[in-house]
Structure 1
């Protein structure tokens, strides 16, 4: 009987033990299921958020094409490469750079002023500027040289060219600025230093297609001072050509930078020659307005590279157009140093340090004497 009782007790304990095992197993299965569900939901939410954050950019870039240019440039940052199109990814830095084809037919205008030149301006200033640089635009359009509509009896016009803003809120602000001032042109390329060649070619395309009736145009950076009186005196001179003319700060025999750590690095596959053809420094050059259409056409044959002013020089070389030295080369200056009013009364262009400096100098130069 004792033996029977022992076996009955062991059987009961074994049953209880198996019951505990079953409960524990069910609990572990439940926890595993819940963890899997959480991971799935998180992954779905992350992917959905990514898709939503790029939806606006992809929508306005869906007509854009690019080539992949191999590079190991060490100083390229994420902001200097182009955003991917749908179903395409950016390679890690140091493996590839996404570079749009420079010919402007690869892009379209998001903001445009197609009727801006109906009044037949004599001179059009085209200012490439970053979307966020509102203060620079306001300093030009409201307080200084961009606020002038007539110089020596000739109509002048100023417009700003920007690329993509990188976000819906910034885009809305830019569109509101456009409605207020009617002087913004925007195209669907990523606005970055690496894409200045694209920016310049889009400027040329706008001039060729929207404003061919202008006599002259100037590509001028947003940090530049321009003496409009001296500029107009140059263009109205009987010795200034009306066709195939471009002048500014000339660059001769400039070597191509092959140092991959340099901001101005250009790979041999993009530009194989050891030196650039003669070109005009990109801070500001003025040209007869027959050239934009010709430069755009030449860009079909000239492989794009990322030094925009030298690229324009390469297009001019193909066209057989030699940049002209200005009658007084000292009027196109990079820097003037310490402010002297007389210096600013003599020059045509020079680089300044800030929008506020432009305002202050303009006010002083224009004061009655």
Structure 2
């Protein structure tokens, strides 16, 4: 009887323990759920308040990015700034911008690794937005169509990033079809935007260093530019033009760093502490000896990236120990020529145009027989 009472007592204690354990476990589970709910709600609320238009997920290379901000810039195009691992951060107004310039952070989606087996004397690298097919076709039918100039082989390639938005898959398919047709597209896995131009330029330098080291000269030239190939080749073939450690174009001296957070060209002191930029070449079009891309890429490991791409290249060139050279005739690198005059376009090397159709029209007129 005593044993039975003891057993009954133990059973009751066991049941009570199990009930208390279940209650404690349920409370712990409820508390955990509440904590996660609060954390999630806080995070979502922060994203929605501080960073509108925040979600952009499916990217062609199966890498996922979180869009931080979109702004209007560069020919009324909405830009996308992306969060990437190990980023450098810059505050601009109420938005945060991320920049990683060193090309080892990226890889090629579309590539032409054997293109330089033709041993070009000059390679023209054109950074262009993925959707700007009209600009690419205009270049293909004008200065980008010149494969031999003054007996020297010339090659033109377009560098694009990733497209954003709901139609990104369709846009990517169109780019791939364009690549199969023309074999002149290089694409890397950064989101194509105005504030990622530094990344874009450094990827260009990487491609030249790794895919085309045998070229004598290269040029980074924007997609809205008129380019007089004969005048450019005359400059490069001149006996006093160096074949190494040479970079020239429209030279920028003593340019102040913009500290106004509302400016499109704002750069924080954290990213670039000096009040003035080193001497650099205006990004619309500069030409350089092809030994420089590898040196610039190497220098970019040591220099924090900022969103003024041409000034950033200038900082890398300064670290290498090279000073940009003024062209023999500085008037040949012009920002704008104003009202059309055929004689002006016969004299310049580069100038900015208003539209792809304007490039086609001017090219036809410049090339007509007199």
Shift of 1:83: 3.8
Corresponding residue SS for 2:209: helix
Per-residue deviation, residues 237-265 of structure 1 (Å, max 9, x unmatched): 01000000000000000000011111111
Rg (Cα) greater in structure: 1
The 1:345/1:80 distance shift into structure 2, 3 A limit, reads same
Shift of 1:61: 2.6
Shift of 1:80: 3.7
Give, in whole Å, the separation in 2 of the partners of 1:232 and 1:175: 32
Counterpart residue number, 2:277: 276
Counterpart residue number, 1:111: 110
Do structure 1's residue 251 and structure 2's residue 249 form an aligned pair?
no
Give, in whole Å, the separation in 2 of the partners of 1:316 and 1:65: 32
- Relative to its length, the structure with more strand (as a share) is 2
Bigger drift between 285-294 and 96-105 goes to 96-105
The 1:60/1:94 distance shift into structure 2, 3 A limit, reads farther
Unaligned runs of 5+ in 2: 1-54, 86-90
Do structure 1's residue 172 and structure 2's residue 173 form an aligned pair?
yes
* Contact 1:75/1:260 (8 A) holds in 2: no
* Contact 1:114/1:210 (8 A) holds in 2: yes
Shift of 1:154: 0.2
The 1:259/1:342 distance shift into structure 2, 3 A limit, reads same
Do structure 1's residue 296 and structure 2's residue 294 form an aligned pair?
no
Moved over 4 A (4+): 73-79, 92-96
* Contact 1:126/1:203 (8 A) holds in 2: yes
Do structure 1's residue 120 and structure 2's residue 122 form an aligned pair?
no
Per-residue deviation, residues 262-286 of structure 1 (Å, max 9, x unmatched): 1111111111110000000000000
Shift of 1:81: 4.3
Give, in whole Å, the separation in 2 of the partners of 1:298 and 1:185: 23
Paired residue total = 307
Counterpart residue number, 2:32: none
The 1:341/1:175 distance shift into structure 2, 3 A limit, reads same
Q: 1:57 aligns with which of 59, 79, 86?
A: 59
The 5 A counterparts of 1:1-369 are 54-57=56-59, 59-61=61-63, 79-84=78-83, 94-141=93-140, 143-166=141-164, 167-369=168-370
Give, in whole Å, the separation in 2 of the partners of 1:65 and 1:146: 36
Per-residue deviation, residues 144-182 of structure 1 (Å, max 9, x unmatched): 000110000000000000000121010000000000000
Shift of 1:59: 4.5
Give, in whole Å, the separation in 1 of the partners of 2:315 and 2:218: 19
Corresponding residue SS for 1:56: coil
Shift of 1:56: 2.8
Per-residue deviation, residues 309-361 of structure 1 (Å, max 9, x unmatched): 00000001111100000000010000001100011001110000000000000
Shift of 1:97: 2.1
Give, in whole Å, the separation in 1 of the partners of 2:221 and 2:118: 22
Corresponding residue SS for 2:125: strand
The 1:356/1:275 distance shift into structure 2, 3 A limit, reads same
* Contact 2:66/2:83 (8 A) holds in 1: no
The 1:218/1:78 distance shift into structure 2, 3 A limit, reads closer
Corresponding residue SS for 2:136: helix
Give, in whole Å, the separation in 1 of the partners of 2:130 and 2:82: 16
Give, in whole Å, the separation in 2 of the partners of 1:93 and 1:264: 10
Unaligned runs of 5+ in 1: 1-52, 87-91
The 1:104/1:239 distance shift into structure 2, 3 A limit, reads same
Shift of 1:99: 1.3
The 1:59/1:182 distance shift into structure 2, 3 A limit, reads closer
